[in-house]
Amino acid sequence: DVKVTQSSRYLVKRTGEKVFLECVQDMDHENMFWYRQDPGLGLRLIYFSYDVKMKEKGDIPEGYSVSREKKERFSLILESASTNQTSMYLCASSFTPGQGPDGNQPQHFGDGTRLSIL
Amino acid sequence: DAKTTQPNSMESNEEEPVHLPCNHSTISGTDYIHWYRQLPSQGPEYVIHGLTSNVNNRMASLAIAEDRKSSTLILHRATLRDAAVYYCILRDLNTGNQFYFGTGTSLTVIP
């Protein structure tokens, strides 16, 4: 089975701190994603990556950046944490059998990091 | 991007079948219909997906209307472990790496 592991289940940080959320997948998937999940808003895509060192903005990239130096690892960075970034953060990965995106492939999610910014 | 509409909540008795509806009237010809579920304190879990034909797997069945404007996820015998939020999502074949989750249907299973 695919395993997507997020480094922390719960994290508490202070306003203005630089925060790193780490995600590792063990299935050699090309694609990795970061979402945040808030009550009443569903999941919203922050950033995704098709390949090492590649990144694309999702719907809500402001205040975030990402890093993909190795295929199995995708990091989400909150440059200067603010209270409105308190949320559940979910990482996912998927396989691409050919070139580019493929809507026929399921995404595999980690269990999330519940981040609180005080 | 094409959107989906689901009821906010549904209830089912344990060991009975559950039919979870989803409307997607603006679906395009290259949109796949995906279903995920999310148990409390966990990330979303893939359930099933399809394009035009009905699909079956060990978890569920997916029934797709002939005009593809709606679909139904069928859990054949609900168990307490099936209590979760179920999301119906459209993913384009060509730009499919972006997921658009709505707020889903919260399924309660009554013992």
Model pLDDT for residues B14-65, shown as the tens digit of each residue: 999 999 999 999 888 888 899 999 998 899 999 999 999 999 999 999 999 9
Distance between CA atoms of A28 and A42, rounded to whole angstroms?
Answer: 27
Radius of gyration of chain B (CA): 13
Chain A: closest CA distance from residue B16 (Å)? 27
pLDDT tens-digit map of A38-91: 987 778 889 999 889 899 998 899 999 999 999 999 999 999 999 999 999 999
Q: What is the pLDDT of residue B80?
A: 95
Residue A101 has pLDDT above 60, yes or no: no
With CB atoms and an 8 Å threshold, state whether A90 touches B44: yes
Sign (positive or negative) of CA dihedral B90, B93, B95, B98:
positive
The contacts found for A84-88 with CB under 8 angstroms, 24 or more apart, are A84/A117, A85/A115, A85/A117, A86/A115, A86/A116, A86/A117, A87/A36, A87/A37, A87/A38, A87/A114, A87/A115, A88/A36, A88/A37, A88/A38, A88/A112, A88/A113, A88/A114, A88/A115
pLDDT tens-digit map of B101-111: 777 999 999 99
Q: Does A48 touch chain B (CB under 8 A)?
A: yes
With CB atoms and an 8 Å threshold, state whether A108 touches B41: no
Residue B2 has pLDDT above 70, yes or no: no
Query: What mean pLDDT is reported for chain A?
Result: 91
